[in-house]
Structure 1
Amino acid sequence: MATSPPYPAYPAHPPRPPRPSGSGSVGGTRHPHWWQRTWVRYAALITLLALSGLVILALVREQTGTDGFLVGLGLAVLPVPLLIAAFRWLDRVEPGPWRNLLFSFAWGACAAALIAIVANSFATRWIATATADPSSADTLGATVIAPVVEESAKAAAILLLFLFRRADFTGIVDGVVIAGVTATGFAFTENILYLGNAFGTDQLTGGSGIASVTAATFFVRVIMSPFAHPLFTVLTGIGFGIAALSGERQTLRRTAVPVSGLLLAMGMHALWNGSATFGEFGFLAVYGAFMVPAFGLLTWLVIWTRQRELRTVREELPPYVAAGWLTPAEPYALGSMRARRLAREYADRHLGKRAKRAVAQYEAYATSLAFLRHRARRGRAGADFVVREQALLHELWARHEVAHPALQYAARATTPVRAYYAPGYGYGIQPHPAYPAQPLYPAQPLYPAYNPYRS
């Protein structure tokens, strides 16, 4: 009978608030109603998204026709993989679960798009009827109604994940990624509609080639500004990310910052939609003066935030080194994207894909552990800190035999060196003493039967 591995002692835990007793419960144990059960929520959410998808499919196909829908679909899908890959790249330090990204994209493409189409059409018709001026109603609907409706609909996905997937929503990068993927889904559906209508116009007028409406629409929406909707909604995501970093008692900040981010997203969206009314070169002026600088600034902010996350990993993991869970080199290796990549490649080269996957999982669990301890040290980890910490440590220990040598190699390969002067011998270099040499993998696999999922 297999015995469990000997675990090192747990490090000293940061102080945490006492666990609240369940209100209205018997013996402190709450019994949720049937509508509070997880499977009921999942079923309701999947049903809502599926129905929204079917309705939006019918509406778009009705407006564009079958040929226009197929052409719009084929062209609108082109930027989606690139945008998803870009947001996933930003999330490499502590990758969130794919189910959150799938929900975000589905919400943006189905639910948010349906809300926007119905609400925008109703509001524009109402304004046209009230003012008896259809042209001004279209302008007012695009510059005022559409930004408010669309950004609110997309923000709903961020709010839902913030409330119900709080453990996966830990900071600004998470907010940016969730917001960006939601907006990518929304832009995907919207592009199908615009490109499909443009194709229908070309069929009626005989436009073709570069001079066609379809080509012009594709150039503006897919080539020049595929990041427009993600850029607007990312402002809302940053607001929720700052709220996630705030303490439980900072109620005003946790409420005001997301609302401010949403208002900024609406304002930038309104400026973008209204650029067509600023004259012949209004679009290019807004694009060059506002959109491109804002995109560059937000890109810098996200990358800077990711570097801060890596620094947090290096600063929070040393207590686990002292307790015996990690080797001395691991905080440095886990705080470097290059070292993490080298560790995965080293495990793959010596033990195969299975070991590479185990090292990647080890890196993700260690990063989550560092962020958890960082939040606990600042009083924001919640009452379940000890349970979550122990679960993460057990996951690390189940993979330590493969991960420790790989990360040790990566640390030695990327560690800084220091110069020294020896009298009579001149100058030389030596590795940093914090990362001593450790046994690495032998030429033949040492753990052929290793199971990274063992209990």
Structure 2
Amino acid sequence: MSTTQTTPGWTLNGQLEPAHNIRPERRARSLSGLPPKRHDEAGNRWLRLLTNPWTWISVVLFQLYAVTLYLVWRQLSADQVFPEGVVPGLDWATLKECAGYAAPTAAVWSLFFIAFDRLRPMKPLFWLLAFGWGSCMSIWLSLNINSWAAQLLNVSASPGDPAAQARPAVFVAPFVEEAAKATFLFLLAVLVRYRIVSGLQSICLAGLAAIGFAFTENIVYYARALVYGSVTTGAGDVEQAVQQLVFLRGVITSFGHPLFTMLTGIGLVIGLRTRSKLVRILAPLTGFLLSALGHMAFNGMSSISEMSMRRLVIQFVIVIAVILFIMVRALRKELQRIRTRLGDYVQLGWLDAREVPNYGTVRRRSWLVMVAVRRGWRTLRATLARMRDMSELAYLRDAMVRGVVDEAGHERERELLGQLQALRPLALVEADGLRMEIPWHRLAFWRRRRAVAASHWPAP
């Protein structure tokens, strides 16, 4: 009998078993990027939270975001000395005012990207981490690297901030900023590559990181305009100039950062969903180069010529239409993939053929959720969980067909099928014939009360 000490693990019934019985399966899942087995015992909820690595990764990242944001604040609050004079640093009151100007743009674009991440949505923690990385970490990296590169280009003696001159803005800033924003995507691809299974997820994370970057950058631009106008003689109506800048950066050209970083996200998900090692390297690299070159062309056009407001509005409408086309096309493609892969399980007899259309169209999925809201919290929770498991099962099957996941995926398949069967009694599984339960009697009672109150009101 071996006397080797092993670390015990938990079985499904809550008992301990030796680690040599579970370690090979855990290693196989880890190599394929699959999540470990979940143990849903209520007594281990806090233990699972404390032993979850993403709990501590999030704590470290949030602290890192706070530190980098403080460093950016210290750097921007210092007075800037130029040959023409001294420009005061940014004060706290100005930053709060400008944050209010930049917040609507960030909120609208964030909700836009989150709304499209519906088929197999990422956890809100990843959305928050992506936005925080762009608004804090990416800004700090870009601010320092751009200033250092500007000094290497020998433009520090020219008037104004060196990092804001034409050459660094065109030839340095696009590569630095896109790399800083995309770093979070590549970190997720290394740590939780199984979670990023669709183009919508990658585009959503890329867009949130870009919007976070644009949010902080807009605050800095607006605040610098306010401070510069307040200390410059003959600057004119400073408030009106800032409002024009808010309209230009917050509305007309607000698509810039999301559009460019989306290209990196698309290239990354192409690399993650293929077995070819060459494509895994070339696809993310190509997406990054396209995003940097597009950013470079945008900055170059802005630096060389000034377009009229009419041309800017036309450009804004065209680019928004392109972004919508990309998102809708990606949504239709992912829905078709879900229908196809769930059809494989129908042929095997593991799923009912009537269930597949309910999870392969936006209309049916939305109707199931809307009716579940009226049925109560338990029904809504079970319906959303079953919808999420169906999508995960379809993407797992797609990964196994592509050769991205090996034999370890079969155990995960059995787990998901078991969860689907367990949720079936509580969840809504078929949209055909499903009716919305509206409490008409409550509405009629409310109308009668208003009519009685109106009859007792004295005539004028």
Is the pair's TM-score, using the shorter chain for normalization, greater than 0.5?
A: yes
Deviations 1:427-447 (A, max 9, x none): xxxxxxxxxxxxx99x9xxxx
For residue 426 of structure 2, what is the aligned residue in structure 1?
402
For residue 451 of structure 1, what is the aligned residue in structure 2?
none
What is the distance in 1 between the residues matched to 2:407 and 2:280?
A: 19
Inter-CA distance 213–336: structure 2 relative to 1 (3 Å threshold): same
Deviation at 1:56, TM superposition (A): 2.3
RMSD: 3.2
For residue 366 of structure 2, what is the aligned residue in structure 1?
341
What is the distance in 2 between the residues matched to 1:43 and 1:218?
A: 34
Inter-CA distance 282–161: structure 2 relative to 1 (3 Å threshold): farther
Inter-CA distance 99–387: structure 2 relative to 1 (3 Å threshold): farther
3-state SS of paired residue (1:108): helix
For residue 388 of structure 1, what is the aligned residue in structure 2?
412
Identity %: 28
Deviation at 1:352, TM superposition (A): 1.0
Deviation at 1:213, TM superposition (A): 2.2
What is the distance in 2 between the residues matched to 1:143 and 1:283?
A: 22
2:138 aligned with 1:112? yes
Deviation at 1:51, TM superposition (A): 1.6
Inter-CA distance 413–310: structure 2 relative to 1 (3 Å threshold): farther
For residue 74 of structure 1, what is the aligned residue in structure 2?
100
For residue 396 of structure 2, what is the aligned residue in structure 1?
372
Inter-CA distance 21–97: structure 2 relative to 1 (3 Å threshold): closer
What is the distance in 2 between the residues matched to 1:286 and 1:345?
A: 39
Inter-CA distance 83–187: structure 2 relative to 1 (3 Å threshold): same
Mapping 1:316-327, distance limit 5 Å: 316-321=341-346, 326-327=351-352
Inter-CA distance 143–285: structure 2 relative to 1 (3 Å threshold): farther
For residue 94 of structure 1, what is the aligned residue in structure 2?
120
For residue 216 of structure 1, what is the aligned residue in structure 2?
244
Deviation at 1:39, TM superposition (A): 6.1
3-state SS of paired residue (1:64): coil
Inter-CA distance 207–346: structure 2 relative to 1 (3 Å threshold): same
- The structure whose RCO (Cα within 8 Å, separation 6+) is larger is 1
For residue 203 of structure 1, what is the aligned residue in structure 2?
230
What is the distance in 1 between the residues matched to 2:399 and 2:155?
A: 54
Inter-CA distance 157–19: structure 2 relative to 1 (3 Å threshold): closer
For residue 337 of structure 2, what is the aligned residue in structure 1?
312
Inter-CA distance 220–314: structure 2 relative to 1 (3 Å threshold): same
Inter-CA distance 352–155: structure 2 relative to 1 (3 Å threshold): same
Deviations 1:106-153 (A, max 9, x none): 1101110000111112222332368x5558981101111111110110
User: TM-score of the superposition, structure 1-length normalised?
Assistant: 0.75
3-state SS of paired residue (2:425): helix
Q: Check conservation: 1:171, 1:244, Cα contact below 8 A.
A: no
Residue type of the alignment partner of 2:284 = P
Inter-CA distance 192–86: structure 2 relative to 1 (3 Å threshold): same
What is the distance in 2 between the residues matched to 1:265 and 1:355?
A: 43
What is the distance in 2 between the residues matched to 1:402 and 1:307?
A: 29
Q: Check conservation: 1:231, 1:295, Cα contact below 8 A.
A: no
Inter-CA distance 173–117: structure 2 relative to 1 (3 Å threshold): same
Q: Check conservation: 1:49, 1:110, Cα contact below 8 A.
A: yes
Deviation at 1:287, TM superposition (A): 7.4
What is the distance in 2 between the residues matched to 1:344 and 1:93?
A: 13
Q: Check conservation: 1:72, 1:192, Cα contact below 8 A.
A: yes
Inter-CA distance 266–19: structure 2 relative to 1 (3 Å threshold): same
Q: Check conservation: 2:178, 2:291, Cα contact below 8 A.
A: yes
Q: Check conservation: 1:100, 1:161, Cα contact below 8 A.
A: no
82-91 vs 207-216, which deviates more?
207-216
For residue 330 of structure 1, what is the aligned residue in structure 2?
355
Inter-CA distance 20–65: structure 2 relative to 1 (3 Å threshold): closer
Q: Check conservation: 2:226, 2:238, Cα contact below 8 A.
A: no
What is the distance in 2 between the residues matched to 1:174 and 1:374?
A: 16
Deviation at 1:288, TM superposition (A): 4.7
For residue 64 of structure 2, what is the aligned residue in structure 1?
48
Residue type of the alignment partner of 2:71 = V
Deviation at 1:359, TM superposition (A): 0.5
What is the distance in 2 between the residues matched to 1:398 and 1:64?
A: 57
What is the distance in 2 between the residues matched to 1:284 and 1:266?
A: 26
Inter-CA distance 39–278: structure 2 relative to 1 (3 Å threshold): closer
Inter-CA distance 365–209: structure 2 relative to 1 (3 Å threshold): farther
For residue 83 of structure 1, what is the aligned residue in structure 2?
109
Q: Check conservation: 2:103, 2:215, Cα contact below 8 A.
A: yes
For residue 175 of structure 2, what is the aligned residue in structure 1?
148
Q: Check conservation: 2:58, 2:129, Cα contact below 8 A.
A: no
2:154 aligned with 1:128? yes
3-state SS of paired residue (1:128): coil
Residue type of the alignment partner of 1:59 = Q
What is the distance in 2 between the residues matched to 1:308 and 1:277?
A: 38
Gap runs ≥5 in structure 1:
5-17, 23-35, 415-439, 444-455
Q: Check conservation: 2:255, 2:319, Cα contact below 8 A.
A: no
Deviation at 1:330, TM superposition (A): 0.9
Q: Check conservation: 1:243, 1:254, Cα contact below 8 A.
A: yes
